[in-house]
Amino acid sequence: MGKIRLTTAQALIKFLNQQYIHVDGQEYPFVEGVFAVFGHGNVLGMGQALEQDAGHLKVIQGKNEQGMALAAMAYSKQMLRRKIYAVTTSVGPGSANLVTAAATALANNIPMLLIPGDTFATRQPDPVLQQFEQEYSAAVTTNDALTPVSRYWDRITRPEQLMSSLIRAFEVMTDPGKAGPATICISQDVEGEAFDYDEKFFERRIHYLDRKAPVDRELKGAAELIKASKKPLILVGGGARYSGARDILMKISEKHHIPLVETQAGKSTVEFTFKNNLGGLGITGTLAANKAARQADLIIGIGTRYTDFATSSKTAFDFENAKFLNINVSRLQAYKLDAFQVVADAKTTLEQLAPLLDGYDSEFGPIGELKEEWLAERDRLSKITFNRENFIPEVKNHFSQEVLNEYADTLKTEFAQTTALITINDIVNPDSIVISSAGSLPGDLQRVWNPTVPETYHLEYGYSCMGYEVSGALGIKLAAPQQEVYTLVGDGSFLMMHSELITAIQYNQKINVILFDNSGWGCINNLQMDHGGGSYHCEFRTHDNKILNIDYAKVAEAYGAKGYRVNTKEGLEAALEDAKKQEVSTLIEIKVLPKTMTDGYDSWWNVGVAEVSNKESIQQANEFRKQKLETAKQY
């Protein structure tokens, strides 16, 4: 067997170039490129290897380690987990910045490869720059913080260890049932250390994403459950989208009169214009979906984790009478809510299940009536107007009219957030991709954003990571260069992180940032006030209690983006139309009134409420929580 002498880093890059994925008869490279922030611990190893011969890998210079890793995650998510970017960082703070991004990818079951530098394997110069010391072990480094947020984790202290580690990492990343981030930490001296690698290690390696088929027992049991039910409901999760199950979902839903509802990850698997699609379920769901869930006697969960937002903290369904059928490639997820389990690919299972359902028709009433009722409410939300004398309906018992007027005067706006959102939905091209992650916008989007083209809705809501929005937009644009990408972000999330806006401008990857500025963490402010608290440290106010009024458009313009400032529907429409014509990235700053987002529709969220308080309103909130928990399912 032939040998080839390479450094560890050179061997890694050569290996990445030879990894291919095979899906439904198509074969293509699995690793598209590498995001990099070079520094102490990776520039002389990984940096040298990429400079010498990157092969087909595209190398993108990130601006923040967390930001570029979030971009890599968004790329993989938009590519339906079938392609990835690797991410390389320096030691110490550089690798520590990966923790949040890795956790976000893990919560969403998204594969990506993290390659942080590490301290010296020889320990000769210890403690090196950016190395901390622990009394109980000299082997602990910053990268140990990545172990609980990685699906696979390893540390390379000898060049030959790279071979088995990489094969294991790619096995994990290309397995739909356990996909997530793989972290391979490489000691910085080892990155440059040479070894005679077997040439066979660098041969073209194909990873097959074979669709796992259900066994007869699973198919028969699933068919029996559905035929025995009167009002089944299909819950479309992210797994249904990654599987490409759109067509068969629509066929089964239409033929057997079964309504569809969606999780955040599953939204736009089937476009909203499909007559039986009732929209998002749960805490951020539509009234139509939540009403249907209450009636259902069988919930067919397809590729979903059943998070608290989807299940309204396990109060969304009639648990006394409803049964559960779960179709999931993950055995862990299939077992949720004591369901009948089908551990298999969603599309394959539904295609094999369809013939077994012939002759069945559900007893659900007119699904269209539920949908029309919701669309009427959506229409109302599109026309919210501000009244300086009386509360608008959305404000309820939150801010006083005086405080709301103060916001209107300072931000110079009377624009409602829901009106702005629906305006955007109406104006942007139907094949545009919308992205968001945290704050009040995910709830509003799941309710009122109606995708008419599949796979154009991209929400990270497994971890609700503030800062994902702008970073993720870059990753999506890399995955879908021919489509416009609009990231909807609150001022709070924008301030957390927007560094990759500069990367998008630098690499001529046009993204459109739509920034909703209500001068505060509005979502969390709602949470504290909804549960009896006051408005405490969630508004953005100065030392002398004045509302902050930041010119975000000027920030974007300083970076080189095209900036817009709007505070009316007409101004927003004009900005959106002009932004379509731009070749550079854009930022549309929308000043909106706080408390003008959507509210819960027949849903409840279980959050910790103080059991002891001197405020009657908090005492009442705690009593209400106790009552809800009496009816909630506990497992």
- Residue 83 above 90 pLDDT? yes
Convert 218-241 to b/e letters by CB count within 10 Å (16 or more is b): bbebbbebbeebebbbbbbbbbbb
Q: Is the pLDDT of residue 391 over 90?
A: no
Last residue of a domain, one of 177, 208, 239: 208
Look at residue 633 and tell me whether its pLDDT is greater than 90. no
Beta bridge mates, 88: 36, 115
Same domain as 164, residue 68 = yes
Are the C-beta atoms of residues 87 and 248 closer than 8 Å to each other?
no
Element (H, E) at 287: helix 287-295
Last residue within a domain, chosen from 373, 406, 423: 373
Looking at residue 121, its pLDDT comes to: 95
pTM strictly above 0.95: yes
pLDDT band at 397 (very low <50, low <70, confident <90, very high): low
What is the mean pLDDT of the segment spanning 232-259?
98
Q: Is residue 522 part of a domain?
A: yes
Of 125, 158, 171, 170, the C-alpha closest to 8 is 158
Are 469 and 618 part of one and the same domain? no
Q: Which residues pair with 82 in a beta bridge?
A: none
Same-domain check for residues 204 and 220: no
Runs of H (alpha helix) within 412-480 = 417-427, 441-448, 468-479
Stretch (H or E) spanning 35: strand 31-36
Three-state SS at 44 = helix
599 domain-assigned? no
Same domain, 566 and 582: yes
- Give me the CATH number covering residue 287: 3.40.50.1220
Residue 468 pLDDT exceeds 90: yes
Q: Comparing C-alpha atoms, which of 550, 564, 441, 465 is closest to residue 512? A: 564
Give the ranges where 300-440 is alpha helix by DSSP (H): 308-311, 331-334, 346-353, 367-381, 401-411, 417-427
CA distances to 387, 501, 539, 571, 592 from 520, rounded to whole Å, are: 21, 21, 4, 23, 11
Identify the band that residue 396 occupies on the pLDDT scale cut at 50, 70 and 90.
low
pLDDT of residue 28 exceeding 80: yes
Span 260-284, average pLDDT? 98
Q: What is the pLDDT of residues 576-600, one digit of tens each?
A: 999 999 999 999 999 999 999 998 8
Domains contained in the chain, number = 4
pLDDT, residue 394, reads 65
Q: What is the CATH number of the domain that holds 108?
A: 3.40.50.970
- Mean pLDDT across the chain: 96
For 172, the enclosing helix (H) or strand (E) is helix 161-173
Q: Yes or no: say if 530 and 573 are a contact pair by the CB < 8 Å rule.
A: no
pLDDT band per the 50, 70, 90 thresholds, residue 390: confident
**In 3D, which of 538, 436, 419 has the Cα closest to residue 486?**
436
Whether residue 364 lies inside any domain: the answer is yes
Say what percent of the chain tops pLDDT 90. Answer: 94
Q: What is the pLDDT of residue 310?
A: 96
Q: Are residues 104 and 159 in the same domain?
A: yes
Residue 161: Cβ within 10 Å count: 19
Q: What are the residues whose beta carbons fall under 8 Å from the beta carbon of 66, sequence distance 6 or more?
A: 97, 98, 100, 101, 467, 471, 497
Quick one: average pLDDT of 110-120?
A: 97
- Specify whether 301 is located in the same domain as 197: no
Residue at 598 is within a domain: no
In angstroms, the Cα distances linking 465 to 19, 194, 367, 605, 633 are 30, 39, 34, 19, 27
Alpha-carbon distance 266 to 241, whole Å?
6
Query: Which run of H or E residues covers position 324?
Result: strand 323-328
pLDDT at 388: 84
> CA 233 to CA 255: how far, in whole Å?
14
Element (H, E) at 251: helix 246-256
What pLDDT is attached to residue 1?
74
Residues 12-33 have a mean pLDDT of 97
Q: Is residue 600 part of a domain?
A: no
Per-residue b/e over 298-311, b at no fewer than 16 CB within 10 Å?
bbbbbbbbbbbbbb
Tens of pLDDT, residues 409-437: 999 999 999 999 999 999 999 999 999 99
Are 473 and 532 found together in one domain?
Answer: yes
- Pair 103, 131: CB distance under 8 Å: no
> pLDDT digit string (tens) for 345-370?
999 999 999 999 999 999 999 999 99
For 564, the enclosing helix (H) or strand (E) is: strand 562-566
Residue 475 to residue 67: CA distance in whole angstroms? 10
* Cα distances (angstroms) measured from residue 576 to each of 80, 118, 503, 516: 28, 46, 22, 14
**pLDDT attached to residue 632:** 87
Longest dimension (CA), the chain: 84
pLDDT tens-digit readout, 314-340: 999 999 999 999 999 999 999 999 999
For residue 125, being part of any structural domain is answered with: yes
φ, ψ of residue 551 to 5 degrees: the values are -90, 85
Query: Residue 66 above 80 pLDDT?
Result: yes
Q: Which range of residues forms the domain containing residue 628?
A: 607-635
Question: Does residue 392 carry a pLDDT above 80?
Answer: no
On whether the CB atoms of residues 154 and 83 are closer than 8 A, the answer is no
pLDDT 10s digits, 135-192? 999 999 999 999 999 999 999 999 999 999 999 999 999 999 999 999 999 999 999 9
Tokens of 182: 């793989």
340 and 419: one domain?
no
Alpha helix stretches (DSSP H) within 491-611: 491-496, 500-506, 522-530, 552-559, 569-581
Residue 41 CB contacts under 8 Å (≥ 6 apart), including other chains = 90, 91, 92, 94, 116, 117, 118, 130, 188, 191
Asked if residue 509 has pLDDT above 90, the reply is yes
Q: How far apart are CA 368 and CA 272, in angstroms?
A: 12
Would residue 463 count as lying in a domain? yes
Q: H or E segment at 70? A: helix 65-78
Cα-Cα end-to-end distance for the chain: 55
Q: What is the mean pLDDT of residues 12-19?
A: 98
Tell whether 152 and 229 lie within a shared domain: no
462, 484: one domain: yes
Do 287 and 410 lie in one domain? The reply is no
pLDDT of residue 303: 98
Average pLDDT (441-448) is 96
Token reading at 355: 């013939």
Cα-Cα-Cα-Cα dihedral of 391, 595, 524, 461, to 10°? 140
* pLDDT 10s digits, 550-564: 999 999 999 999 999
Alpha helices in 416-521, H assignment, sequence order: 417-427, 441-448, 468-479, 491-496, 500-506
Domain identity same for 56 and 158: yes
HSE-up of residue 564 (Cα within 13 Å, Cβ side): 25
Among 108, 59, 111, which Cα is nearest to 88's? 59
In a domain, 434, yes or no: yes
Confidence band for 398, pLDDT divided at 50, 70 and 90: confident
**Could you tell me whether strands 31-36 and 84-89 are parallel, antiparallel, or unpaired per DSSP bridges?**
parallel
**Domain termination site, one of 331, 346, 373:** 373
